[in-house]
Structure 1
Amino acid sequence: MTTTTTPHSRFAVARQVADAVLLEGYVLYPYRASAAKNRLRWQFGVLVPPAWGRAHEEHVLQQTEILMEPRGAATLALELRFLHAQRRTVQQAADGGGFTEVAELHLADRVLVPWDEGAEERVEVSVPVAELLGDDGVTFPFRRPARVDPEPVLDAAGRTVGRLVRRTEEIEGVLRLRATELPGAYRVLRLRAVVENTSPWTPPPGAGPADREAALPRSLVAAHLLLGLDCGSFLSMTDPPEWARQAVAACENRHTWPVLAGEPGRADVVLSSPIILEDHPAIAPESLGAMYDATEIDEILALRTAALTEQEKREARGTDPRAAAVIDLADSMPPEVLERLHGAVRALREVTGPEQPPLLAELPSEDVVFRPDTPWWDPARADTADPVRDRITVGGVPVGPGSRVLLRPGLRRTDAQDLFLRGRTALVEAVLHDVDGGVHLAVTVEDDPGADIRREQGRFLYFQPDEVTPLEDA
């Protein structure tokens, strides 16, 4: 039995994640236009006009290819979503009438400043799968006209003290859909969906990468697709069935990646995103609202936002309505709600099976480090770990706190800074064991004038046993 749903309801669950994709990095903490990191925006899924793309090697189109198994007279529902950048300027009411453009307009609760807002745009398509077959497929051109929208700004008494003027540039694009039936025992179609910016705008002569601001209002920002079948299913591109792996590998996805979305256990909805996700991505239920700040943690952002000064909050509220909503959310969040953001256990499982075998690390030359049969964190052990007394054997020499070693960082896991320490001598401060059975030596470098301070604060450098050579024991 198949339950038929409207495209809107079918996309409801997937749209929660799609909203996060749409607004990824939209406005970054501390949510003020004056913040340096808010001066370089619109980084994900940007499809620029062709003239700009050719000149500066930016993406003009994105292509999604995915396999689907439609049944009967299936219909494909598709929703293209993107942000349309619009320039907002601030004007102050003049005494003699009219308005004058200003850099700031101070109100009681906010400071209005010029800013590029992002207006959500959608292109919705519904087409029978049978019409997608053939060499040409189907094409859906779309256009968003240029416009100017003034908005009056009123003070607490209701008097007009200025206005916001939003200027939106024209955007033209095309959505091309085509399906190809693949040979084999199963009826499988390869669906190709191409989103392309076809705006005829050309940059002024001599425009360079620094003039990208002129191209952004004519670009599709954070462009992504929602696709749904009313009868049938899609195949996972991340974990396809064995029989489909070769066909999945032949799919060409350009500047986007499709994953199964929607309700868990279903495969009738796909989200094709410029940000790589796993199948059935979901928003944490503890999250109360969009924080917009890339992959930062809600708890940290909420605490930091609540700690902003009143003047900083006034500027953030005047930067963007979405930023104002974040400030209001942080200010109104009760303690019990904030506690929910601290962490959650998603699942527990019982660990059973045979005991782990002894762990031995094969090191260069004849170095061997012994690791006990019973992990150090086992509460049944009589001799629990003691970093300030534990010793290990490296090259037949016992090494522990107080031992002197020669540092020879390993290339396979060393960062560039550690390479400066190659050949230096160091003093072992502690022997540490991790939960995976690994051993780490905490050391301070000899002749380091800050060694005493590091020792007081417990701030050490860490190396594995195969990255040191024992010297005479201190």
Structure 2
Amino acid sequence: MTAFPAGIESGFAAARQIADAVLLEGYVLYPYRASAAKNRLRWQFGVLVPPEYTAQGAEHSHQRTECLMEPRRNDRLAVELRFLRVQRRTIERATATGGFEPVDRLELADRVLVPWDEGVEERIELLLPVDELAGDGVLRPFRLPAAAELQLLREDGTAAGRVLRRREQVDGLLRLTAEELPGPYRAQRLTVVVENASGWAPARDTLREEVLPRALVSAHLLLGLEHGAFLSATDPPEWARSAVEQCRNEHTWPVLAGPDGGGRVVLSSPIILEDHPQVAPESLGTLYDATEIDEILALRTAALTDEEKREARGTDERAGAVIDLADSMPPEVLERLHGAVRGLREVTGGSPGTGQPWWDPGSDPDVAPERDRVVVDGMAVGAGSRVLLRPGRRRTDAQDLFLRGRTAIVEAVLHDVDGSVHLAVTVEGDPGADLWRAQGRFRYFQPDEVTPLAGLAPPVSAESPDAVAPLEGP
């Protein structure tokens, strides 16, 4: 292990909480059992496979990080490459003759063991003078040799079985270069390339599961300067904006991750993050699914049956720790997960004394959704206007994308608290349009996602045979 200077190590220590979440994202998902379908296709982020396999699979063999830094004179750069190495576990049961035989399931008193791929954390650490990165830079190969371990399992003093763990050889390369940027500022473009350099050649149609033991899984970098600082890739100073735009990042994304909002540390992650990401202080521990809510996962995990918990404990030590955490959580800790106020601000523009909340359009006399209009392509669009829907690629709702090219009727023009304008529409030809209209349920598009059409839609009145009476409340 490389001994980093105290200033760098303290910065890395603060960033590792986020780096650990990246490292173990999706490692094992609720219900934390190997038999669950969602735990049969694992290792989704930052997987660097041997180069010979890239033609067969969707993974890549390298990551490339480029960012800008402002080192001081005689500065040093610390590099910590972190990844998981897949360790394949097989299970054998003791036989009556004193031998062992492979099995798919071995039941013990406190857990149920099954074959499983475990993740062993690996770190490659470098501490280099920044001056050495000029020109051809630095090339550092590394090798993790193959290894095997045997664990004997005993119950009531007799052998019940054994666990075999095997790791394959993994070879890799780190390439580091730095170049001075033109201009009055002493900024440099740092490039760090991580490669899987294994010479292993897979057979044709090799399964992904056979490749993973030779891969770098969840690979990511921590970069630190002893005295200087890095520049943000998303919000750089104006003088550096064009240089940042020329940085080329492949299969990873660098963000500032130093403590207290500083720029001494960068986390280059295969998961897109914002600068200075943080784990919520209420988070009770690692649940391996950062897209979920801790409260929901904790409650659902605690509700597993005893047999399901035995299977989870036998799946992986990390999964067993989640079970124990959920079972031992005191009520006051669970209550803390229910919600937190991060900040308060004064909201103005409401109508005091009306009994209407500030976010209700009825509290703002300047807003009239059924009468307001917005100009689109030189035409005033409002309630009753016909438009052609053309949702853009930035939308994440696939159902809205399916409506591209359909015509719709604008029902209202809405303004949100951030000042954005939205058009509430019903799709023409939708057999449920009248019902949605009566319930006040619409689809929403922004003005730049529609094209106005000539003519107005026919009004819908209570006397119309197609009109639907509003639903009565309970």
User: Shorter-chain TM-score category?
Assistant: 0.7 to 0.9
In structure 2, the residue matched to 1:305 is: 301
Distance of aligned partners of 1:464 and 1:379 in 2 relative to their CA distance in 1, 3 Å threshold: closer
In structure 1, the residue matched to 2:391 is: 412
Letter in 2 for 1:469: A
CA shift for structure 1 position 417: 8.9
Q: How does 1:19-30 map to 2 (within 5 A)?
A: 19-30=20-31
In structure 2, the residue matched to 1:39 is: 40
In structure 2, the residue matched to 1:163 is: 162
In structure 1, the residue matched to 2:227 is: 231
Distance of aligned partners of 1:350 and 1:90 in 2 relative to their CA distance in 1, 3 Å threshold: same
For residues 234 and 423 of structure 2, the distance between their equivalents in structure 1, rounded to whole angstroms, comes to 35
Asked if 1:255 corresponds to 2:255, the answer is no
In structure 1, the residue matched to 2:202 is: 203
Query: 1:406–1:423: 8 Å Cα contact kept in structure 2?
Result: no
For residues 460 and 35 of structure 1, the distance between their equivalents in structure 2, rounded to whole angstroms, comes to 40
Query: 1:376–1:433: 8 Å Cα contact kept in structure 2?
Result: no
> Please, which of 343, 348, 353 is the counterpart of residue 347 of structure 1?
343
Letter in 2 for 1:207: D
CA shift for structure 1 position 55: 3.7
For residues 23 and 253 of structure 2, the distance between their equivalents in structure 1, rounded to whole angstroms, comes to 14
CA shift for structure 1 position 80: 0.4
Q: Secondary structure at the match of 1:347?
A: coil
How large is the Cα RMSD of the aligned pairs? 3.7
Give 5+ residue unaligned stretches, structure 2: 374-383, 451-455, 463-474
For residues 58 and 8 of structure 2, the distance between their equivalents in structure 1, rounded to whole angstroms, comes to 35
For residues 57 and 358 of structure 2, the distance between their equivalents in structure 1, rounded to whole angstroms, comes to 59
Q: How does 1:246-325 map to 2 (within 5 A)?
A: 246-325=242-321
Q: Secondary structure at the match of 2:54?
A: helix
Asked if 1:329 corresponds to 2:325, the answer is yes
How big is each residue's C-alpha offset from its partner over 1:1-24, in whole Å with a ceiling of 9 and x where there is no partner? Answer: xxx625433300100000000001
Query: 1:442–1:460: 8 Å Cα contact kept in structure 2?
Result: no
For residues 431 and 68 of structure 1, the distance between their equivalents in structure 2, rounded to whole angstroms, comes to 47
In structure 1, the residue matched to 2:238 is: 242
Query: 1:432–1:441: 8 Å Cα contact kept in structure 2?
Result: no
How big is each residue's C-alpha offset from its partner over 1:121-167, in whole Å with a ceiling of 9 and x where there is no partner? Answer: 00011111111112x21111111111111112232x34321111111
In structure 1, the residue matched to 2:151 is: 151
Letter in 2 for 1:277: L
CA shift for structure 1 position 464: 5.8
CA shift for structure 1 position 265: 2.8
Is 462-471 or 120-129 further displaced after alignment? 462-471
Query: 1:85–1:118: 8 Å Cα contact kept in structure 2?
Result: yes
Q: How does 1:15-164 map to 2 (within 5 A)?
A: 15-56=16-57, 58-134=59-135, 136-155=136-155, 157-164=156-163
CA shift for structure 1 position 53: 1.4
Query: 2:93–2:160: 8 Å Cα contact kept in structure 1?
Result: yes
CA shift for structure 1 position 442: 9.3
In structure 2, the residue matched to 1:368 is: none
In structure 1, the residue matched to 2:468 is: none
For residues 319 and 21 of structure 1, the distance between their equivalents in structure 2, rounded to whole angstroms, comes to 21
Q: How does 1:183-202 map to 2 (within 5 A)?
A: 183-202=182-201
Distance of aligned partners of 1:459 and 1:141 in 2 relative to their CA distance in 1, 3 Å threshold: farther
Distance of aligned partners of 1:463 and 1:406 in 2 relative to their CA distance in 1, 3 Å threshold: farther
Over the matched positions of the two proteins, sequence identity in percent amounts to 58
For residues 184 and 391 of structure 1, the distance between their equivalents in structure 2, rounded to whole angstroms, comes to 52
> Please, which of 438, 442, 459 is the counterpart of residue 471 of structure 1?
459
CA shift for structure 1 position 288: 1.4
Q: Secondary structure at the match of 1:200?
A: coil
Query: 2:372–2:413: 8 Å Cα contact kept in structure 1?
Result: no
Distance of aligned partners of 1:164 and 1:103 in 2 relative to their CA distance in 1, 3 Å threshold: same
How big is each residue's C-alpha offset from its partner over 1:71-117, in whole Å with a ceiling of 9 and x where there is no partner? Answer: 12111111000000111011111111121110101112211111101
Query: 1:431–1:441: 8 Å Cα contact kept in structure 2?
Result: no
Distance of aligned partners of 1:311 and 1:421 in 2 relative to their CA distance in 1, 3 Å threshold: farther
CA shift for structure 1 position 334: 1.0
How big is each residue's C-alpha offset from its partner over 1:308-361, in whole Å with a ceiling of 9 and x where there is no partner? Answer: 111111111111111111111111111110111111111223356xx69xxxxx
Letter in 1 for 2:111: R
Q: Secondary structure at the match of 1:264?
A: helix
Q: Secondary structure at the match of 2:318?
A: helix
Is 49-58 or 189-198 further displaced after alignment? 49-58
Number of aligned residue pairs: give it: 428
CA shift for structure 1 position 411: 3.5
For residues 307 and 107 of structure 1, the distance between their equivalents in structure 2, rounded to whole angstroms, comes to 22
In structure 2, the residue matched to 1:365 is: none
How big is each residue's C-alpha offset from its partner over 1:402-437, in whole Å with a ceiling of 9 and x where there is no partner? Answer: xxx999784438835984997899xx9x99997678
CA shift for structure 1 position 66: 1.1
Query: 1:409–1:418: 8 Å Cα contact kept in structure 2?
Result: no
Query: 1:147–1:167: 8 Å Cα contact kept in structure 2?
Result: yes
Letter in 1 for 2:308: E
Query: 1:431–1:442: 8 Å Cα contact kept in structure 2?
Result: no
CA shift for structure 1 position 472: 4.2
For residues 178 and 418 of structure 1, the distance between their equivalents in structure 2, rounded to whole angstroms, comes to 46
For residues 426 and 328 of structure 2, the distance between their equivalents in structure 1, rounded to whole angstroms, comes to 44
How big is each residue's C-alpha offset from its partner over 1:31-72, in whole Å with a ceiling of 9 and x where there is no partner? Answer: 111111111111100100011113435311111111111112
CA shift for structure 1 position 460: 7.1
Distance of aligned partners of 1:461 and 1:88 in 2 relative to their CA distance in 1, 3 Å threshold: same
For residues 54 and 95 of structure 1, the distance between their equivalents in structure 2, rounded to whole angstroms, comes to 48
How big is each residue's C-alpha offset from its partner over 1:370-425, in whole Å with a ceiling of 9 and x where there is no partner? Answer: xxxx99634999x769xxxx994599xxxxxxxxx999784438835984997899
In structure 2, the residue matched to 1:215 is: 211
TM-score where L is the length of structure 1: 0.80
In structure 2, the residue matched to 1:377 is: 357
